[in-house]
């Protein structure tokens, strides 16, 4: 007889739960529904980017490259950081090309956080942020932002700061709430970060997805913030290349070696031919591309929000990014998972249960669903038609 094994997973593995986004995608596929759950861009990758990557593969650029990214890409990122964000970063010492912005966040957290450190995150949160912090033995400290305006409760934020606070995460425009932090809010956070001496990790991956005339503001450009801000972004969303796994971070030169080390340890380098592809995108796509992107997504946002209103699922109108959180309390179910399943059954539309973005004790966790509008015109139109058809049927009937 085999000896009883004492093998077990790590303590942290015992607490992991499967991603609800992925679960909903599987359910949606099963019923051949319209998937407004997962945040993958169904829109096409610009031709010149795709071609540049294909040519790079054909030309034999298929091996490891420098762990911090190929020089032309770091230089192109530095130019973009200066012209769009107003950040003056040295491509050699202050820019790290990463495997997606997820790789950048991983590198920043492993390089800067110790077990027991506290990191403040706003709710609704992007759970890859909070889950990674917890996986590293640090502690996410959650500050609720109330719907529909998601304004910061400044007292709550100030009171959440302790001697263990090492960083705060600012995701603007935000997934899932679509919040765009105002300059005043960013200044308030910057002031706290300087007074209490902590880092600011900014996730700016949706920096071009801005609506109603809003402008992107990067935390690193505020006075006194360049040293303590880790600016994270990537190409997944802007260039519709979520599967390419390409992002970057910009930081003060003193932090880069540790971040590059941890990124190297996991990824060695970001995919080399694809780095050539996005370099072409950065160098050749101009303001018109980014303006059209925002205008196109603004139309999609309006289309989806109209359909949600008709369906009796009151949306909170996003200021940026490409998700809508909607109040689904009119749908049957005890919690947001059941409501998401009810919607899938009735309308054939998949959304993500709010519980993926809120703590269990927050009431919105039970009522909210997240819808993504980074879809092709045809899929979004069909999803909206199905949602609108719930009108009058009485969602809770």
> Which stretches of the chain bind ligand PLP, using CB under 6 A?
39, 100-102, 126, 171, 175, 203, 205, 234, 236, 242, 247
User: Which residue is associated with the tokens 């005339």?
Assistant: 213
Q: Between the CA of residue 297 and those of 7, 377, 379, what are the distances in Å?
A: 50, 10, 14
Nearest-approach distance from CB 9 to ligand PLP, in angstroms:
25
CA dist., res. 145 & res. 124, Å (int): 7
The answer, yes or no, to whether the previous bond of 148 is cis (omega within 30 of 0) is: yes
Q: CB count, 10 Å around CB of 349? A: 25
End-to-end Cα spacing for the chain: 57
Q: 192 vs 246, which CB is nearer to ligand PLP?
A: 246
Nearest-approach distance from CB 97 to ligand PLP, in angstroms:
12
Task: Look up residue 245 and give its two tokens.
Answer: 């796994």
Nearest-approach distance from CB 191 to ligand PLP, in angstroms:
24
Q: 35 vs 102, which CB is nearer to ligand PLP?
A: 102
378: Cβ contacts below 8 Å, ≥ 6 apart: none
Q: 234 vs 354, which CB is nearer to ligand PLP?
A: 234
Task: Look up residue 386 and give its two tokens.
Answer: 């199905």
CA dist., res. 320 & res. 237, Å (int): 13
Q: 22 vs 159, which CB is nearer to ligand PLP?
A: 22
Q: CB count, 10 Å around CB of 124? A: 31
Nearest-approach distance from CB 333 to ligand PLP, in angstroms:
25
DSSP string over 205-252? TTTT-B-TT-----GGGSTT-TTTEEEEEESTTTTT-TTT--EEEE--
- Is-contact 196 165, C-beta < 8 A? yes
Q: 135 vs 309, which CB is nearer to ligand PLP?
A: 135
Q: 100 vs 273, which CB is nearer to ligand PLP?
A: 100
Nearest-approach distance from CB 235 to ligand PLP, in angstroms:
7
Nearest-approach distance from CB 234 to ligand PLP, in angstroms:
3
Radius of gyration of the chain (CA): 21
Nearest-approach distance from CB 310 to ligand PLP, in angstroms:
27
CA dist., res. 291 & res. 197, Å (int): 37
Residue number of the CB atom closest to ligand PLP: 100
- Is-contact 244 254, C-beta < 8 A? no
CA 161 from chain center: how many Å?
A: 24
Q: 262 vs 310, which CB is nearer to ligand PLP?
A: 262
- Is-contact 201 169, C-beta < 8 A? yes
CA 253 from chain center: how many Å?
A: 25
Q: 127 vs 362, which CB is nearer to ligand PLP?
A: 127
Nearest-approach distance from CB 100 to ligand PLP, in angstroms:
3
Nearest-approach distance from CB 37 to ligand PLP, in angstroms:
11
Q: 39 vs 178, which CB is nearer to ligand PLP?
A: 39
With b for 16 or more beta-carbon neighbours within 10 A and e for fewer, the 63-77 pattern comes to eebebbbbeebbbbb
């Amino acid at each position: 007889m085999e000896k009883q094994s004492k093998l077990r997973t790590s303590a942290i593995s015992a607490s992991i739960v499967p991603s609800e986004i992925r679960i909903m995608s599987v359910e949606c596929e099963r019923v051949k529904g319209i998937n407004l759950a997962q945040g993958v861009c169904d829109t096409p990758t610009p031709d010149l980017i795709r071609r540049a990557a294909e040519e790079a593969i054909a030309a034999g650029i298929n091996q490891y490259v420098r762990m911090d990214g190929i020089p032309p890409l770091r230089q192109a990122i530095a130019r973009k950081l200066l012209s769009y964000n107003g950040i003056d970063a040295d491509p050699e010492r202050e820019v790290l090309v990463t495997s997606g912005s997820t790789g950048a966040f991983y590198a920043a957290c492993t390089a800067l956080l110790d077990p027991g450190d506290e990191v403040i995150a706003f709710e609704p949160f992007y759970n890859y942020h909070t889950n990674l912090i917890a996986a590293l033995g640090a502690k996410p400290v959650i500050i609720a932002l109330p719907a529909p305006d998601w304004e910061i409760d400044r007292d709550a934020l100030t009171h959440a700061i302790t001697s263990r606070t090492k960083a705060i995460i600012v995701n603007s425009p935000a997934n899932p709430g679509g919040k765009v932090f105002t300059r005043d809010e960013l200044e308030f956070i910057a002031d706290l970060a300087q007074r209490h001496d902590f880092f600011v990790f900014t996730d700016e991956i949706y920096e071009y997805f801005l609506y109603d005339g809003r402008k992107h503001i990067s935390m690193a450009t505020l006075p006194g913030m360049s040293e303590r801000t880790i600016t994270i972004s990537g190409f997944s969303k802007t260039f519709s290349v979520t599967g390419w796994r390409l992002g970057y971070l910009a930081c003060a030169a003193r932090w880069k070696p540790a971040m590059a080390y941890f990124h190297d340890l996991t990824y060695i380098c970001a995919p080399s031919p694809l780095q050539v592809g996005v370099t072409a995108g950065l160098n050749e796509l101009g303001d018109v591309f980014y303006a059209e992107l925002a205008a196109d997504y603004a139309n999609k946002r309006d289309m989806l929000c109209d359909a949600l209103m008709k369906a009796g699922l009151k949306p909170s109108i996003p200021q940026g990014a490409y998700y809508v959180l909607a109040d689904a309390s009119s749908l049957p179910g005890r919690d947001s998972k059941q409501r998401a399943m009810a919607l899938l059954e009735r309308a054939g539309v998949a959304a993500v249960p709010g519980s993926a973005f809120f703590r269990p004790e927050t009431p919105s966790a039970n009522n909210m669903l997240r819808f993504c509008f980074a879809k092709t015109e045809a899929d979004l139109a069909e999803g909206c038609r199905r949602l609108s058809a719930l009108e009058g049927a009485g969602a809770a009937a």
